[in-house]
Chains A and B, each alone.
Chain A
Amino acid sequence: MLEIFDYEFMQRAFIAGLLIATLASISGTFIVLKRYSLMSETLAHSALVGVAVGLVAGYNPLWVAVIVAVLSSWLIEYLRSSFSLYSDAILSIILSGSLALAVIIVSLGGAFNNSLFSYLFGSILSVSSEDLVTIMLFGSLALGLLLIFSKELFFICYDEEVAKTSGIKVKFLNFLLVTVVAIIIALSIRVVGSLLIGALMVIPTAAALQFRVGFKNTMLISLVFALFSVIFGMTTSYYYSLPSGATIVLSVIALFIISLVINKK
């Protein structure tokens, strides 16, 4: 078809990108409706601590990122549900704390190089076969959990207390959701980069919400927007040698603006 698919690394990057678009947009629908948008940014920075540890210690950065992001998501959810703290303040503390920690680890380990840059902004050149297997493995687990509990999660997004009084295990499902989101974010930083993954999670849903349609359709529109942005962004990234995370995010922002304009009341 297109010459860009002649390269094996582009095939890998596209498969990884489309998987991540699916995961980010579906989990993003719940994240936006639960007013957890800042959570995705915070977890992305926590994942960076994992990347730093991985780079310095010589482990697969993606695996360590998944572990650190999940632990961080549990810490956030625990602090949020057990102490009377403002949740955006908690997120802000963990976000900056993680970034500081990541920078110190990387500096001490002398790993401040191009490899780190690719984890910050995403790079289509860097998706290895091992990365792709990791993304597929954890990605299908994350997607499976989201789909199994989608009705319960939707109810919780609508009204957490009423969901609780209906017998839904709200605390468990909140932990499950943040865990799944942490995994998705850690997996995404290869392609989109930790500084930009929050956007791929939040903006497709924010754009889809402008169409004022029911839950399923909102999720579908969000998915289509995310897939389109990844395809368009990666292609642009390939032809103009730009970081893929940045081109993907600008594509999705363009879709958001279009959605905003055509749905103006």
Chain B
Amino acid sequence: MQLEFKIPIFDVKNLSFIVRENTILSNISLEIFHGEYIAIIGPNGGGKTTLIRMLLGLEKPTSGEVRLFGKKMKNFKEWHKIGFVPQRASLVDENFPATVEDIVKMGRVAKRGIFAGFSKEDAEVVEDAMAKMDIIHLKDKMIGTLSGGQRQRTMIARALASSPEILILDEPNTGVDMVSQQRFYKLLSKLNKEENITIVFITHDIGVIADDITRLFTINQQAAICNNPKETLSCEDMSALYGIDAHLISNHKHDCSGESGC
């Protein structure tokens, strides 16, 4: 694959995470390249979120290494290149005194110098990010008054306002209705194809996004990487992927409803 000649955005080598003798992640190695659209699936408690947190430097691995844009974590400074939308994004504190615009502007904060105010360029980027997420009409609304889908788009607009090269989303659809979810996947796909933003996200809705994604990572203590996600979605593979914990497979039966052998 030609991508292999480039420096990966994330280069993960032999990553393990052990907490009080519980192995959460064991010997994970993977690379994420520019322009990819990657979904991460796996059973609850399988370590998906922990992996993302280690990619972002929020947790320190027990062993192994994460390189970002070719640099060691401690030497990496260009955090504005990475946009992160956490799991709780749509479950904000209802009383928090921020308008949609206040939130999206946060995306510019780390980019500008300490003594600099918001520039005209900052204002344009913020406006542009809100336009892409179709929330300009909501910009003066308080964040607590929005629906789950609107909040989610606000969080992504905030991440986009830092002009990231990669967007990382952790179960972004928690608390969001079906219609908003469909619209959301279209937006992600558009950002990937038209804006050339690399996208990595944790989800349980593999069926919905299978057509768009370039690769699928399955995480359950260990990582399995599927370069052809459509094939992977067969029932046997799903069973094998989730198979380390038989109890959890049964929770995911609905993912392969109508097929035998699940």
Q: Which residues of A contact B96 (CB under 8 A)?
A: 33, 158
Q: Which residues of B contact A152 (CB under 8 A)?
A: 109-110, 114
Q: How long is the Cα–Cα vector from A162 to B95 in the complex, in angstroms?
A: 19
Say whether, besides A166-B162, A167-B80, A215 and B97 are in contact (CB < 8 Å): yes
Q: Mark B98-118, 1 if CB is under 8 A from A, else 0.
A: 110111011101100011000
Q: Are B110 and A166 in contact (CB under 8 A)?
A: yes
- Which of B78, B84, B101 contacts A165, CB < 8 Å? B84
Say whether, besides A151-B109, A166-B80, A212 and B97 are in contact (CB < 8 Å): yes
Q: Are A218 and B97 in contact (CB under 8 A)?
A: yes
Tell me if B144 counts as interface (CB < 8 A to partner A): yes
Question: Chain B contact residues (Cβ within 8 angstroms of A): what range?
Answer: 20 to 34
> Which B residues lie at the A interface, using CB under 8 A?
56-58, 77-80, 82, 84, 86, 95-99, 101-103, 105-107, 109-110, 114-115, 140, 142, 144-145, 162
Total chain A interface residues with beta-carbon distance under 8 A: 25
Q: Which residues of A contact B101 (CB under 8 A)?
A: 214
In the assembled complex, 8 residue pairs joining A and B whose CB atoms fall closer than 8 Å, in A order, are A151-B109, A154-B98, A159-B86, A167-B110, A209-B95, A209-B97, A212-B142, A214-B99
Tell me if A262 counts as interface (CB < 8 A to partner B): no
- Which of B103, B114, B140, B162 contacts A158, CB < 8 Å? B103
Q: Which residues of A contact B99 (CB under 8 A)?
A: 214-215
Say whether, besides A33-B96, A214-B97, A154 and B86 are in contact (CB < 8 Å): no
Given contacts A163-B110, A218-B97, 8 further A-B contacts (CB under 8 A): A152-B109, A154-B106, A166-B109, A168-B110, A208-B97, A212-B144, A214-B97, A214-B140
Tell me if A89 counts as interface (CB < 8 A to partner B): no
Q: How long is the Cα–Cα vector from A166 to B95 in the complex, in angstroms?
A: 23
- Which of B103, B105, B107 contacts A166, CB < 8 Å? B107
Say whether, besides A162-B84, A165-B56, A165-B84, A212 and B95 are in contact (CB < 8 Å): yes
Q: Are A213 and B97 in contact (CB under 8 A)?
A: yes
- State the 8 A-B residue pairs at the shortest beta-carbon distance, nearest first: A167-B79, A218-B97, A166-B110, A167-B110, A214-B99, A165-B84, A155-B106, A165-B56
Query: How distant is A236 from chain B, measured CB to nearest CB, in Å?
Result: 30
Q: Are B58 and A164 in contact (CB under 8 A)?
A: yes
Tell me if A149 counts as interface (CB < 8 A to partner B): yes
Q: Are A161 and B86 in contact (CB under 8 A)?
A: yes
Q: How long is the Cα–Cα vector from A158 to B96 in the complex, in angstroms?
A: 8
Q: Are B142 and A214 in contact (CB under 8 A)?
A: yes
Q: Which residues of B contact A164 (CB under 8 A)?
A: 57-58
Q: Which residues of B contact A208 (CB under 8 A)?
A: 97
Query: How distant is B72 from chain A, measured CB to nearest CB, in Å?
Result: 16
Tell me if A108 counts as interface (CB < 8 A to partner B): no
Say whether, besides A33-B96, A149-B114, A152-B109, A214 and B102 are in contact (CB < 8 Å): yes
Q: Are B95 and A158 in contact (CB under 8 A)?
A: no
